[in-house]
Structure 1
Amino acid sequence: MPLQIKQELKTELINYIGECGKFLPDREDFLICIQASEKISLIKGFTGRYVICSEKNTLKQNDACGYSLSPSVKWDGIQSAAEKEIQYAEIKIGKTQWLAGNFYGSTHERAVVLLSLDDMSLEISRMLRAYRDRNTIYVLPVIFLLILLMTWHVFNVAMRPIRQIDKSITTLDLKTFEIKTALVAPYREFLNIVNSFEGLRIRLIQSFEKARRFTADASHELRTPLTILRGNAEALIKDLPNGSSEQIRVQMVISEIDRLVTITQKLLWLSRADANKLNPVFLKINLSDLMGQWVLDAQSFNPNLKLTSEIQPKIMWMCDPDLIHQLIGNLYDNAVKYNVAKGWIHFRLKQNDNGFHLSIENPSSPLPANFEKQVFDRFYRADDAHSRSIDGLGLGLSLCQEIANVHEAQLGVKVSDDGIVTFTLSDSLPPLKMTK
């Protein structure tokens, strides 16, 4: 038993003997007096374990009472709270340790009050365990909640610099690699990561700029010699006999020169798009009229294809007419090239609450499994090994994607199970009011 608890028990025993000793050696009255006391104490709960000894007892000398009443016990005089002198001793009988209080009652009869320290130690331990178990039910959830809150707080504190870096990185423009929010290391531990990212970003910008400049410069420089070649070829073809094999070969050269001119023109457009230099001129146009005229013109160019349309009238759109005309032309050319014999093309234009939806549908021969994912990649061709069986450069749809991006519109493609290819263009901006 801890010394502090033992000292407290000693003080309480002496005070109760001083207060209720007048009832000694009567055990029942003594215990009633203790229970009636308004004091809150530890020893009050052990009234059932009190042993009251008096000289009238006929107990043997070797038991607890007999030994405590014998002259061999050394008593210490202590003043109680009731200003009565009480004699106190700790005695050991066999293996049991006792607290003993010696007092002469009102009848001047000697009485000794005994409490077993061993029993009290066991009882106190049991009470403490019960108190611990009872409070554990309430304390554990609180502790668990505190641990969760502390873990959440520590996690947030630890993740805060990472979130700051992530927030800055998400502002990175994937086309120019420019970052809107400066990337700053919140702590020196993140300095190497930030510096590595910035170094990588700068090298990407430099490489991207060199590639874009090379494409633009090469496309620009090739236009002049290609124009000269075409002019000389046209002059040469006039000097050759009509229908001769030499004239046919020169005509093939002119076709390939035209093909190179188209490639350089589209590469120049794409390099401008990569540099955000398409510089569109936005005008409010009647998209319905544009599509209607396009369908009429297309019918005269491809009489072998059946062209149908569903065009809602008076749909207005703020766009660059030249760029949109080129976008629709590329989508139409793609529908013609990848059509089937005696096939068809269906145009659909409708207004909805979020803008408009334009689609161009056509049947097609079996396409590669990666068609939908890679169709807008540059130089991608749906025909195997870039064969010449279908004319095309693999740049038209890439340019369409860039034009759609400039207009903040969405360009997509869907291939159905029965081989119907549908290209869609939609504007997610609030719709313009329709003209009357």
Structure 2
Amino acid sequence: MARVAKNCSTSLQNEHQWRDCARGPDIGQVLSPLVDFFELCSPRLNTDAVACNVVKGLPITWQPFKSIDDSMVRGSVVINRTTWFVMKDAANPASPVVMLADADLGLYLQRLWELRDRNLIYVLPTIVLLLFVLTAYMVYVVMRPIRLMEETLSTLDFKNIHEKTEIQTPYVEFQKLAKVYRDLLKRLDASYENAKRFASDAAHELRTPLSILRGNVERLIPEMPNGSSHQMYLQNLGDEVDRLILITEKLLMLSRADSNSLTLDIEQVDLSGLLNDLIEDAESFYTHIKFIKDIQEGVVWPCDRSLIEQLINNLYSNAIKYNFSHSGWIEFRLSATAQEVKLVVMNSSSDISANLSEKAFERFYRGDASRTRRSVDGLGLGLSICREIVHAHGGLITLETPSPYVVSLVVSLPTNL
């Protein structure tokens, strides 16, 4: 009001000009519509408004409006129970008196709050959505290096750790962290290489002295009196030497598999005939076990014969060892499609561990709860070797427990290597 009264005193000859002048500086601003509620009282306009006529005869206590100009004065009057705010330029006697009713001011504020509420309905969700999008984008940008490192590290294993030492870091801030990971991978690779080399060297070095020891024991056994305690001791010693030789052979094979040096001699193998011969021989040795077969005829597959025979023998041996002492059963299934060859060896069993599916392929893990040779003979390396043989042929082996007393080993192999 003070600015209008001061700046538009030259436009008093025409009310439209005066209102254009009053509204001009506020166009586009929140207070611009308030000008429509102003009443202009000026002698030049011969204003007939009741409020203007009344205010002319009322004594008004004028006070300077120092925040605008010292020459501007303001006051208030009550007309017909309505409070009016008035303002004029005291330095100019011809200055108009600008009036604003308290009720009009309240109406204007009400409209202003309605406008605010209406805008909030549309603006606030938009702001929230934009903030959410911005936050998601910032998280994406910040987490991108972590995702790249995660993608690299998730593909690591001991067979390719030396090939994946480089980690992408698009931001300088993550280069130090990436360097720490690279150094860690190099140390792990070096440690693993030392462990593999030790296992391989130990297996190589033990084979010769163990073979010599076994030969000497075999020569001494006939020289002892038949049935004597000394002959029994030598026989037991020979059995233990054979066991050590078997362990070294299996460790050597696992060491070669770990170093990706397990070579395959590929030839066409009749898997159907191989399994049928195995079951025929097994039925004559283990009469207390029922053998069930569901073998597709004529399944010929290109593979390494010696390794596949070892795979089948290990699966068969495990099924025998961990079967029931009486009235047990073993089921063999073999099928082939254009995409894969599938072999399933299922057997009855007792005392199946709750975590057998997770730990069955760990080296030196024994499925029997006691893990002693008194209960089940074995080394705990059979399924580990099976897994390496299957992986060398590009396949997958899994252990399942369909019921509390049934164990199933499923081997899936690609039809074409």
With normalisation by structure 2, the TM-score equals: 0.79
Matched, 1:355 2:340: yes
State the identity as a percent: 38
Aligned residue number for residue 45 of structure 1: 36
**CA offsets per residue over residues 216-245 of structure 1, 9 Å max, x none?**
111111111111111111111222233333
CA apart distance, 1:313: 1.8
Aligned to 1:386, the other structure's residue is in SS state coil
Matches within 5 A, 1:23-422: 42=33, 45-46=36-37, 64-66=55-57, 92-93=75-76, 97-99=85-87, 114-116=98-100, 122=106, 124-180=108-164, 182-340=166-324, 341-352=326-337, 354-383=339-368, 384-422=370-408
How far apart in 2 are the matches of 1:61 and 1:270? 108
How far apart in 1 are the matches of 2:95 and 2:228? 148
Which shows bigger deviation, 114-123 or 322-331? 114-123
- C-alpha distance 46-293 of structure 1, shift in aligned 2 (>3 A): same
Return the letter of the residue paired with 1:46: F
Aligned residues of 1:171 and 1:179 also touching (Cα < 8 A): no
CA apart distance, 1:259: 0.7
Aligned residues of 2:5 and 2:97 also touching (Cα < 8 A): no
- C-alpha distance 96-183 of structure 1, shift in aligned 2 (>3 A): same
Match of 1:18 among 13, 20, 26: 13
Aligned residue number for residue 66 of structure 2: none
**CA offsets per residue over residues 141-178 of structure 1, 9 Å max, x none?**
22112111211121111111211221222232244533
**CA offsets per residue over residues 7-35 of structure 1, 9 Å max, x none?**
357656864x533599xxxxxxx99xxxx
- C-alpha distance 271-124 of structure 1, shift in aligned 2 (>3 A): same
CA apart distance, 1:287: 2.5
With normalisation by structure 1, the TM-score equals: 0.76
Equivalenced residue count is 387
| 5+ residue gaps, structure 2 | 20-26, 63-70, 78-82
- C-alpha distance 223-262 of structure 1, shift in aligned 2 (>3 A): same
| 5+ residue gaps, structure 1 | 23-29, 32-38, 73-87, 102-109
Aligned to 2:377, the other structure's residue is in SS state coil
- C-alpha distance 360-98 of structure 1, shift in aligned 2 (>3 A): same
RMSD across aligned positions (CA): 4.0
- C-alpha distance 12-132 of structure 1, shift in aligned 2 (>3 A): farther
**CA offsets per residue over residues 21-76 of structure 1, 9 Å max, x none?**
99xxxxxxx99xxxxxxx997466327x566879898x99995122599xx9xxxx
How far apart in 1 are the matches of 2:301 and 2:329? 27
Return the letter of the residue paired with 1:66: G
